[in-house]
Structure 1
Amino acid sequence: MAALKDFLKADDIQNALDAVKAEGSFDHKKFFALVGLKAMTPDNVKKVFQAIDADQSGFIEEEELKFVLKSFAEDGRDLTDAETKAFLNAADKDGDGKIGIDEFEVLVHEV
């Protein structure tokens, strides 16, 4: 499995993590833009999805979302329960309680 640092610049990852250091400050749109995901092709976004999907189930479940920042860097903080739920609600368009690969790609490129 490819590591996120293979797709993203280390400086961008650090800047994005610094922007969401404080609990309650995670905003997926801002984070995706800062980390460089928004500018990626749909294919590369899907590769990033696969790196975040820790159990390789084809979905990012709520438990994986909580640790999403650790996917980008080991010292990334855990998302709060409120941040995790807001992130899940923003992405989960079909209401199944998890984020599919297509839902993730749509979320990343949302304006």
Structure 2
Amino acid sequence: MAMSGILNCEDIKKALDAFAVAESFDVKKFFEMVGLKTKSAADVKKVFTVLDADNSGFIEEEELKFVLKGFSKDGRDLTEKETKAFLRAADKDGDGKIGVEEFTALVKE
């Protein structure tokens, strides 16, 4: 499933361009810019499924590094610092990974 079926391609491009520079990524602003904050819970879950590359039911730290590529193959890799900040923002139960409920909560913040 491609993100373009859920989100507007132009919004994705603008968001990726806005955070193209290393250490500039802000997950909450990114979700807002791509239009994810206004999507239904079902659409947010679809996005989660795309980002959960290994289909484990969780987005692990290694998958977070490539999260922007999940939105577009042209997306850059997140730096280690950005990856850890993303994980801290979403991982409410401290298990080192992001479940669908945690992801949905972060998107809607």
Shorter-chain TM-score range: over 0.9
* 2:67 paired residue number: 68
Gaps of 5+ in 1: none
Aligned to 2:56: 57
Match of 2:85 in 1: 86
- 4+ long deviations beyond 3 Å: none
State the partner residue of 2:46.
47
Equivalent pairs counted in the alignment come to 109
Q: What is the match of residue 18 of structure 2?
A: 19
What is the match of residue 38 of structure 1?
37
Provide Cα deviations, 1:38-96, integer angstroms capped at 9, x if missing partner: 01011110110001100000000000000000001111000000000000000000000
Distance (whole Å) between structure 2 residues aligned to residue 22 and residue 69 of structure 1: 12
Q: What TM-score do the two structures reach when normalised by structure 2?
A: 0.98
Aligned residues: CA RMSD = 0.5
Structure 2 unaligned regions, length at least 5:
none
